[in-house]
Amino acid sequence: MTSARPRHLSLRKAVIAAAQRLEPLGINRGSSGNVSVRAGGGLLITPTGVPYDALTPGRIVWMDLDGRHESDWLPSSEWRFHCDILRERPDLNAVVHTHAVHATALACHGRGIPAFHYMVAAAGGPDIRCAPYATFGTAELSANAVSALEGRRACLLAHHGLIACGHTLDAALALAVEVETLAATYLKALEIGEPAALDAAEMQRILGKFSTYGQNPGRPRR
């Protein structure tokens, strides 16, 4: 937008802050990831091709959930799955996408993360799925991501990266960090061999405990 004081100023600043935390948190490099948050019947999303240290509130793009944008700046090339996720999942308010190294390494083999560790349940289910590959920015990729996120708050994208979602931007960021940590641990465990998985009954117990643990909605805690 071109006005001196764009709408949803505090949320625009929050999107910038979240985007600028991706690299210090060790879950992204450069500006390859993207961040969005629900706002005013649509969403605010990082623009395409703009370094995170050059972001300003006016460069954050407002879009409706059908993909129409309201800005002189173009939205992230991955705007489609941000819109589709937030349209299909009213329980979620924020989406973080990164090319975190360990999660992406698994995704390049088309592998998700099984129930090898109880913290896999932090993503909302007994495993973290890997969505089938599709070209970035396409409706096919978006459909694959929405499907992989069914009953979950995170997924991997084959040959691409990860998506983490949450009730808040902080929750989505925290989950992205957790997924990357789990991916790194799983890869390390695979050096010895495929680790045993926790059984379905135990994962259901963990999911039940996570549903009432902690004080921030949408953010399971140990």
Q: Tens digits of per-residue pLDDT, 49-99?
A: 999 999 999 999 999 999 999 788 999 999 999 999 999 999 999 999 999
Task: Indicate whether 216 pLDDT > 90.
Answer: no
Q: Looking at residue 58, what is its pLDDT?
A: 95
Q: Among residues 78, 178, 191, 202, which one is catalytic? A: 78
Task: Indicate whether 8 pLDDT > 80.
Answer: yes
Confidence of residue 6 (pLDDT cuts 50, 70, 90): confident
Q: Looking at residue 4, what is its pLDDT?
A: 57
Mean pLDDT, residues 135-150: 98
Catalytic-residue membership of 70: no
Q: Looking at residue 183, what is its pLDDT?
A: 98
Confidence of residue 222 (pLDDT cuts 50, 70, 90): very low
The DSSP-derived string for the chain is --SSS-SSHHHHHHHHHHHHHTTTTTS--TT--EEEEEETTEEEEPBTT--GGG--GGGSEEEETTS-EESSSPBPTTHHHHHHHHHH-TT--EEEEE--HHHHHHHTTT--B-SSSGGGGGGTSSSB-EEPP--TTSHHHHHHHHHHTTT-SEEEETTTEEEEEESSHHHHHHHHHHHHHHHHHHHHHHTT-PPPPPPHHHHHHHHHHHTTSSSSTT----
Higher pLDDT, 6 or 13: 13
Task: Indicate whether 35 pLDDT > 70.
Answer: yes
The answer regarding whether domain 9-210 maps to CATH 3.30.70.120 reads no
* Residues 145-196: tens digit of each pLDDT: 999 999 999 999 999 999 999 999 999 999 999 999 999 999 999 999 999 9
**Quick one: which of 51, 41, 38, 50 has its CA closest to 12?**
38
Task: Indicate whether 217 pLDDT > 50.
Answer: no
Indicate the domain borders of the chain: 9-210
- pTM, two decimals, is 0.93
Q: Looking at residue 1, what is its pLDDT?
A: 43
Q: In this prediction, what percent of the chain has a pLDDT beyond 70?
A: 94
Residues near 150 by beta carbon (within 8 Å), at least 6 away in sequence? none
Task: Indicate whether 20 pLDDT > 90.
Answer: yes
